[in-house]
Structure 1
Amino acid sequence: MTPPRVVPVDGSPESVEELADALRAAFAGGPTVFPTASAPAVPLADASERVAVVIATSGSTGEAKLVALSAAALRASALATQARLGGPARWLLALPAEHVAGVQVVVRALLAGAPPVVQDLRTGFRPDAFADATTALGPGRRCTSLVPTQLARILDAGGAPLDALRSYAAVLVGGAALDAELGERARAAGVAVVTTYGMSETAGGCVYDGVPLDGVQVDLDGGGRIRLGGPTLADGYLGDPAQTAAAFADGWFRTGDLGRFSDGRLEVLGRADDMIITGGENVAPAAVERVLVAQPGVRAACVVGLPDAEWGEVVAATVVLDGPPDSDRLRSAVRTALGRAAVPRVLLPIAEIPLRGIGKPDRAAVARTLSAHAGMGTVRACPRGAP
């Protein structure tokens, strides 16, 4: 069997052009494509002829996995997206091309008849460059895909970047949870935001605005974990039959996320592994984050559990603020919305939330920061009986 074709991508239009050529060949039966921003950190096993693309992914533990995606799964996802969004469009790629969301922008664009216009990301994401790249798309129906951080930066910039964003028929937002305040702010500004949920194992986003794409099945197991099925599922993990068997079974992929259905739509509650158990009570970090970012002056928040001899774990939070901190007000809001157990005992203002991958909060880095500061004068730790 032919080993995967490694395609280095560095954020430049030239590297994405090479990736697009490789994807065309893979869809026609050519070598499997492995897009990467660096030398592969894990050995690349030979891929079967069915595998078109291999995506390297790692969770918060840093354990590397190689997701094997068939051309059929990628095509099914792209065509279902096209149908959900109302037809073909020109696509702007403003995401790193080594991640599944970036690959899917390229695939959608190729299936719609034209390669994507690429925003050069070698110096990072800049709203003014986004506006220029949008102009290069030319007239016609436009779509793009962003992570919440990019969306926030464009809204903050205003002017030409925001005008450019308003010109898109759909702006897919995924890679990390979109907090309600940011979503409402974007829609109020005239941006056609579509929230997406999915992962490399589902060929990217497969649930849009809480509703699965055509052909995609969503279910919850007995513990509330989200299971996903349908034609967009990956074949498994390249070279790792044990992990494949653990995650993929009977046509379903068992995610690590907890969810529930509200008015017929899927609501993602957060990672099961992130659940904080404090004093015998379960606290979902995502729920605390939603309450915090809904408060005036809070731009972002990340909540983790810190080990504690008495409580097992305590709730700890970092927040990005527009003004001076008001810890009492924030804690009171959490207590009112979620109860005493969910109130952060440690609350630390920071300049920005550290990110990993395509834009997910780096909870391990946040936990290290909070652990280093807990009990020091720069952090106001809540007294034991105060929540």
Structure 2
Amino acid sequence: MAGKPIKCRAAVAWEAGKPLSIETIEVAPPKSKEVRVKIEATGVCHTDLHMKNGVDPGVTAAKANFPCILGHEGAGVVESVGNEVTKVKPGDHVIPLWLPECGECPTCRRPDSNICSQLSDSQARGVMPDGTTRFSCKGKQIHHFMGTSTFSEYTVLPDIAVVKVNPKAAMTDICLIGCGFTTGYGAAANSAKVKPGSTTAVWGLGGVGLSAIVGCKDSGASRIIGIDLNPDKFEKAKHFGCTECLNPADFDRPIEEVLHEMTGGGVDFTFECIGNVKTMRSAFEASHPVWGVTMIVGVATADDQLVFPPYKLLLGRTLKGSFFGGYKSNVGIPQLVDSYLEGRLPVAELITHTMAFEEINKAFDLMIEGKSIRSVVKFN
């Protein structure tokens, strides 16, 4: 089908707040410097839920322009490529990149940055770099989402928004490396650079939080404290590396005060993996006032404001963010896939539910009900 449109299944978000609709869509062939990918599996992430409900999480390149095809945590095989594509070829196994790496923009050229600015404008508008879309359904143009749209059996991406990975890796597992696992694990192991013997605390024991726990454990943390209002998650968190778990509802005082007492003055590294400004403040307050490092990993909404007294920074606290685990995509993603293949990363253990693509709305229900860590939907 190279060079021709393809008809396939996709989950279309026609409007905010409604279930996704399984439709037959038409996917145009890739243009110059574009790649068409057959998606084999895709995770369902909380960011997709935000967008499905029409909530702007405050990330420039992550806006839902309805109608659209959501999804940004996938893995698949290159079906065809447009002119001037040298990075990948048909048959290559790839992970779509919602955070691309062009290697040429000012931020890409900085060794200490993983934020590529090349596609931020087109991603925000839900189109390809030339301002058009490659999806159509029932005579209407359908917007792209985060430059990836992995809730479609076939999708088209700029060539800088895919990365080739080892074909031995199971796509039902490594799709999570396209977002959730990398975001959490990298926040601890790559961005924060957790030190051996340190104390750590993680707010939110979902897929990203559990991945951050793995990052803390692999970095040699001596104490990893998991914090969540849902005690049903504690057993899983301890399996991933938590030394203890706390439910803030069990205490009659702020959890940050409890943590200061438990750690003798404050936690060395704290991670907020929820996207709530109240828990961000709590994580910050729980860090040691002199050398504590707080990583903001969760994404709050565009209207939220994080407020705290500036003097709390004066003694040496650090407050910083981590986007996609701080990894440059072209090198970091293949390395993580290889580590998974070597049995060093428990990516598959994050998956609590696997289902057919037609059941994708069930994956959102499980997320809302707090019954899943990560759901993966398969096209075949």
**Structure with the greater relative contact order (CA < 8 A, sep ≥ 6): 1 or 2?**
2
TM-score (norm 1): 0.31
* TM-score calculated relative to the size of structure 2: 0.31
Identify the structure with the greater strand proportion.
1
